[in-house]
Structure 1
Amino acid sequence: MTSTEQTGPKLKRGEKSIEINGGNVVYEILGNEGDFIALTPGGRFSKDIPGLRPLAQALAKGGYRVLLWDRPNCGKSDVQFYGQSESHMRAETLYRLITELDIGPCILAGGSGGARDSMLTTMLHPEIVTKLVVWNIVGGVYGSFVLGSYYIVPSILAVRGTGMKGVAGIAEWRERIEENPANRDRLLAQDDGEFLKLMLRWLNAFVPKPGQTIPGVEDEMFDNIMVPTLIIRGGENDLDHPKRTSLEVSCLIKGSKLIDPPWPEDAWERASEKRAQGKVKRFNMFDTWVQAAPPILEFLGDSAGR
């Protein structure tokens, strides 16, 4: 390593790193026995985002081993840039991670962006999935546009204005560099023009289109999901994860089970308000997810013989 190169992340007890598709992926496993559940959060949030671990611990207490992982561009894992969309890239990573760790076929579970990543992994690699559990599914004009404007547009503006140095300076990527200093070199190594092309392609995935109930995925792909599936529907007035989208997904996944949310119908909106008003000092958007543990465990037990 030269004096200008940056080292990778500092791993805490229980964390491990494995190279997948040219980048290091940080993961950990909770529980000592039972079937594996690959649990995926939303956004570009890490496995350590508040609210996720209590759910993982509850599932582990219920008799399962839980894989928590930092997806590319999340947490301590390396940034990576390829694929039809960011979710396509993550689906390929999850497939390879499960394969390399030899823990498949296994159960996939995820909320928000993690729901999309889990569904897409099941569509593209159905042979490694035994059951699927998803909630807080993003869809609709507002939900899709918000994701594109929040996660993709700032990088497009930065690379067009000041190149990859500008990209490395925006808040989203500064956080990735803080958690994994090696990500600065990985970002700066990207070609400006190729990075712009990729960002435009990833942005296109969030443009609502006929025949795409979830962003960037053709509805016909849902025919590939043939495993027992539990869908926790979106809240009544949740614009980010519309009730309508989860109902449509339940129609597209044949034989899926749709249940009402175990948390209050307005849980997402109230959490959003608290954050906007500065009433919470920590991330609180996933705090209610632990309430999904009982219905998830019940579903996994009921579908064990299917």
Structure 2
Amino acid sequence: MPNKNIEINGGNVVYEILGKDGEFIVLTPGGRFSKDIPGLKPLAKKLVEGGYRVLLWDRPNCGKSDVQFYGQSESHMRAETLQQLITTLDIGPCILAGGSGGARDSMLTTMLYPELIRKLVVWNIVGGVYGSFVLGSYYIVPSILAVRGAGMKAVAQIAEWQERIADNPDNEARILSQDPDAFLKLMLRWLNAFVPKPGQTIPGVEDEMFDNITVPTLIIRGGENDLDHPKRTSLEVSCLIKGSTVIDPPWPEDAWERAGEARASGKVKRFNMFDTWVQAAPAILDFLGR
């Protein structure tokens, strides 16, 4: 099925559906990456072969979707978007599956809208001081420095937002139309979500919210020495989601680090951080089939 558009909260969200029959799985990647990021489709196709339909979507501020700026955190904004996407397309209750930032978005959606979710599968969960600080410094701080220095024109020139404009030219006007003071206030709020705090195992989400996750949940734990997605965070999340199942990663313990090294060396010409995700398909299908 080709890309489709749907308007949610005044912005276009781009999505596609793989598969013809079966229950829906909403599959979400990490970072501000598009649904077309290398490594995601192979996993989606394996899930389709397993008898499911898969919804892939460009979250706000990702891929070809419109940029959006509101909410308690960027993940809260995306959770609200996903709730409306599931409701408008009438595909719930459905299964949520996601890695890295997509894991956080999926968990938060399940916490806020539990009636829409039937099962949950998450991996590469971000946490810890280093992992949280890296995200805040990479995704939020450049926009704060730019808007304080030279307003929204400077924000639109940041490499991150230039990519969004290249994918969707309408995004330039959407960025330039933001009120600089309101945008700064929002960015500071979004940054605050990534400041590690007692009682917040995952960034910007109170631990008590995990009580809302009562659906069967599979957690693929982080690698042994993965600083971005700590093993400790996965195990803490498993303690917070009652009855959840934790499994060892189906990829090598150091898969994330090795992919990062390959990317930094320049030997890999394409983004390769999610290439191992397809290896989780058998474990995911086994869990969903129980």
TM exceeding 0.5:
yes
* CA deviation map 1:236-281 (0-9, x unaligned): 0000000000000000000000000000000000000011111100
Q: Which amino acid in the other structure matches residue 122 of structure 1?
A: T
Could you say which residue in structure 2 is the equivalent of 1:166? 154
Could you say which residue in structure 2 is the equivalent of 1:118? 106
Could you say which residue in structure 2 is the equivalent of 1:139? 127
CA distance, structure 2, for counterparts of residue 256 and residue 75 of structure 1: 32
CA shift for structure 1 position 141: 0.1
Give the secondary structure class of the aligned counterpart of 1:44.
Answer: coil
Could you say which residue in structure 1 is the equivalent of 2:258? 270
CA distance, structure 1, for counterparts of residue 45 and residue 9 of structure 2: 29
Q: Which amino acid in the other structure matches residue 151 of structure 1?
A: Y
Could you say which residue in structure 2 is the equivalent of 1:8? none
Which of the numbers 77, 80, 83 marks the counterpart of 2:65? 77
Which of the numbers 46, 52, 75 marks the counterpart of 2:34? 46
Give the secondary structure class of the aligned counterpart of 1:198.
Answer: helix
Give the secondary structure class of the aligned counterpart of 1:281.
Answer: coil
Could you say which residue in structure 1 is the equivalent of 2:270? 282
CA distance, structure 2, for counterparts of residue 134 and residue 73 of structure 1: 21
Give the secondary structure class of the aligned counterpart of 1:66.
Answer: strand
Which of the numbers 2, 5, 25 marks the counterpart of 1:37? 25
> Residues 100-249 of structure 1: matches in 2 within 5 Å?
100-249=88-237
Give the secondary structure class of the aligned counterpart of 2:289.
Answer: helix
CA distance, structure 2, for counterparts of residue 208 and residue 60 of structure 1: 37
CA distance, structure 1, for counterparts of residue 94 and residue 103 of structure 2: 15
Matched residue count:
290
| TM-score where L is the length of structure 1 | 0.94
Give the secondary structure class of the aligned counterpart of 2:37.
Answer: coil
Root-mean-square deviation (CA, aligned residues, Å) is: 0.5
CA distance, structure 2, for counterparts of residue 109 and residue 130 of structure 1: 11
Give the secondary structure class of the aligned counterpart of 2:219.
Answer: strand
CA shift for structure 1 position 17: 0.2
Q: Which amino acid in the other structure matches residue 39 of structure 1?
A: L
> Residues 78-93 of structure 1: matches in 2 within 5 Å?
78-93=66-81
Q: Which amino acid in the other structure matches residue 88 of structure 2?
A: E
Which of the numbers 227, 240, 264 marks the counterpart of 1:252? 240
* CA deviation map 1:132-180 (0-9, x unaligned): 0000000000000000000000000000001000000010000000000
CA distance, structure 2, for counterparts of residue 279 and residue 128 of structure 1: 43
Of the structure 1 ranges 271-280 and 140-149, higher mean CA displacement relative to structure 2 is found in: 271-280
Could you say which residue in structure 2 is the equivalent of 1:66? 54
Q: Which amino acid in the other structure matches residue 80 of structure 1?
A: Q
CA shift for structure 1 position 47: 0.0
CA distance, structure 1, for counterparts of residue 62 and residue 204 of structure 2: 20
CA distance, structure 2, for counterparts of residue 21 and residue 192 of structure 1: 20
Give the secondary structure class of the aligned counterpart of 2:224.
Answer: coil
Q: Which amino acid in the other structure matches residue 129 of structure 2?
A: V
CA distance, structure 2, for counterparts of residue 33 and residue 94 of structure 1: 21
Could you say which residue in structure 2 is the equivalent of 1:7? none
Percent of aligned positions with the same letter in both sequences? 85
Q: Which runs of 5+ in 1 are unaligned?
A: 1-12
Q: Segments of 4+ in structure 1 off by > 3 A?
A: none
Q: Which amino acid in the other structure matches residue 192 of structure 2?
A: N
Could you say which residue in structure 2 is the equivalent of 1:4? none
